[in-house]
């Protein structure tokens, strides 16, 4: 296996990052939080050093994610798309991780990472195409190093670990980001991936988007652990619980994790505490398993409202938000129309990607079907 190679890095910085994981020990159930629900800075020392422009940009990203998300749900309701997993509530996690990823960094997503994927260069058109039932939506034309979404729960954690080994072996300056839900932490692949990551010291940043529910099952029925970050203890990895609805806390932890990994220290596990404001997918009905009161309670922590309050307090937000949302809606709608106008699915698309070197039998199956189509056509 690979040995750790320490690059020359700013020692004080590394020390500070390591301290972050020590200071917020998951065994004591501590949580990293920088602004409160009213947008007030409660942990000035850890506030990431971001200029106003970057903060405004982050807010715009989050606003765009939510607009696109709500529109996706609405397209589905109109019967123009088969399904969609809403990401509403996850915007701070998505913006913060996306903004800390470089073009060469890898993303092994599950399926509730639309915002992160967008910041990596995936387009809403591609997202829409996929949920309209076209695999072409996973052929990300402009996004570098993004794997197709993983629907098989938890399996992407292992792919990320393998990519981590690969980039380290090839001595590439690339980090790997992957994410899982709270439910996914119960899968064996979650533990196997983190165990291997600890031994191999791979440059992978593992995120648990703990949004409180795995479809209908609350996190308390998923584990008896005090939190999910503490699972890192078992694998000898640094772990931390972070307020996933606090953009600044998420930004700070991703920056720290990236520096930690770049310095050759290996992987970290981040539990981002959030709330899935929407349904699991558009086929799900959350009223069956959670209360309105609970939803309202979590609404107070909404990541977009919090960041907005922070900006208002500082007086840095000067744009007309309604106009901005209207502009985003037009953009999203344009992408949706492009997806709807995508070329029709061809018979070739069913077959041509199964193998690099297509077996004769598969060619025969296709040609048999073509003969059937010719017969069918002749009967018209």
Residue pair 277/67 in contact by the 8 Å Cβ criterion: no
String of contacts with other proteins for each residue 60-99, x by CB under 8 A = ----------------------------------------
Label residue 211 exposed, middle or buried (CB < 10 Å: 0-12, 13-18, 19+).
Answer: buried
353 in contact with other proteins (CB under 8 A): yes
Catalytic site residue from 82, 102, 169, 289: 289
6 in contact with other proteins (CB under 8 A): no
Q: Where are the beta strands (DSSP E) in the chain?
A: 106-108, 176-181, 204-210, 213-214, 217-218, 239-243, 268-273
159 in contact with other proteins (CB under 8 A): yes
Residue pair 190/157 in contact by the 8 Å Cβ criterion: yes
161 in contact with other proteins (CB under 8 A): yes
Catalytic site residue from 33, 94, 112, 276: 276
**Would you say 19 or 371 has its CB closer to other proteins?**
371
Tokens found for residue 220: 């308390």
# residues near other proteins by CB under 8 A: 45
Binders of other proteins among residues 114 to 143 (CB under 8 A) are 135-136, 138-140
Least separation in angstroms between residue 109's CB and other proteins is 12
- The span from the CA of 284 to the CA of 286, in Å, is 6
Least separation in angstroms between residue 27's CB and other proteins is 24
130 is catalytic: no
**Would you say 89 or 137 has its CB closer to other proteins?**
137
193 in contact with other proteins (CB under 8 A): yes
306 is catalytic: no
364 is catalytic: no
For residue 225, what are the CA distances in angstroms to 30, 40, 185, 318? Answer: 14, 31, 11, 44
Q: Which of 7, 188, 323, 341 binds other proteins (CB under 8 A)?
A: 188
Q: What is the CA radius of gyration of the chain?
A: 22
106 in contact with other proteins (CB under 8 A): yes
Residue pair 119/95 in contact by the 8 Å Cβ criterion: yes
Quick one: which H or E segment has residue 161? helix 155-169
Least separation in angstroms between residue 38's CB and other proteins is 42
Q: How far from each other are the two terminal CA atoms of the chain, in whole angstroms?
A: 64
Catalytic site residue from 66, 94, 280, 306: 280
Part in contact with other proteins (CB under 8 A); list of ranges 14-22, 109-117, 190-198, 369-377 = 190-198
Closest CA to 228 of 18, 31, 17, 23: 31
Least separation in angstroms between residue 326's CB and other proteins is 34
Tokens found for residue 165: 């080994």
Q: Which of 85, 164, 183, 266 binds other proteins (CB under 8 A)?
A: 164
Phi, psi of 29 (to 5 degrees): 55, 35
Residue pair 324/63 in contact by the 8 Å Cβ criterion: yes
Q: Which residues are catalytic?
A: 276, 280, 289
Binding site for other proteins (CB under 8 A): 1-2, 106, 108, 135-136, 138-140, 145, 147-148, 150, 152, 155, 157-167, 169-170, 188-189, 192-193, 195-196, 199, 352-357, 359-362
């Amino acid at each position: 296996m690979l040995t750790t190679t320490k690059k020359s890095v700013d020692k004080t910085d590394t020390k500070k990052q390591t301290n972050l994981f020590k200071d917020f020990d998951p065994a004591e159930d501590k949580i990293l939080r920088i602004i409160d629900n009213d947008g007030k800075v409660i942990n000035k020392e850890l506030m990431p050093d971001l200029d106003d422009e970057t903060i405004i940009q982050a807010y715009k990203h989050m606003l765009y994610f939510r607009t696109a998300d709500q529109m996706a749900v609405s397209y589905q309701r109109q019967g123009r798309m088969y399904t969609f997993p809403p990401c509403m509530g996850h915007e701070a996690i998505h913006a913060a991780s996306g903004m800390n990823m470089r073009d060469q960094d890898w993303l092994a997503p599950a399926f509730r990472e639309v915002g992160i994927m967008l910041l990596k260069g995936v387009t809403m058109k591609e997202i829409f195409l996929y949920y309209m039932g076209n695999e072409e939506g996973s052929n990300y034309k402009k996004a570098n190093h993004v794997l197709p979404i993983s629907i098989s729960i938890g399996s992407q954690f292992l792919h990320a670990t393998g990519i981590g080994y690969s980039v380290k072996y090839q001595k590439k300056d690339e980090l790997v980001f992957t994410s899982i839900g709270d439910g996914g932490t119960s899968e064996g692949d979650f533990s196997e991936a983190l165990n291997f990551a600890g031994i191999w010291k791979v440059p992978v940043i593992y995120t648990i988007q703990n949004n409180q529910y795995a479809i209908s099952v609350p996190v308390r029925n998923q584990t008896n652990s005090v939190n999910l970050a503490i699972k890192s203890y078992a694998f000898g990895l640094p772990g931390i619980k972070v307020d996933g609805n606090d953009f600044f806390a998420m930004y700070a932890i991703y920056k720290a994790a990236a520096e930690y990994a770049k310095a050759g220290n290996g992987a970290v596990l981040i539990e981002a505490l959030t709330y899935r404001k929407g349904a699991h997918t558009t086929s799900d009905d959350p009223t069956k398993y959670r209360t309105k009161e609970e939803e309202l309670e979590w609404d107070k922590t909404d990541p977009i409202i919090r960041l907005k309050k922070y900006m208002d307090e500082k007086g840095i937000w000067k744009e007309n938000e309604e106009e901005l949302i209207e502009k985003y809606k037009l953009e999203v709608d344009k992408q949706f129309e492009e997806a709807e106008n995508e070329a029709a699915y061809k018979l070739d698309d069913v077959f041509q990607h199964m193998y690099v070197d297509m077996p004769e039998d598969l060619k025969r199956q296709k040609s048999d079907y073509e003969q059937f189509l010719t017969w069918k056509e002749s009967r018209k």
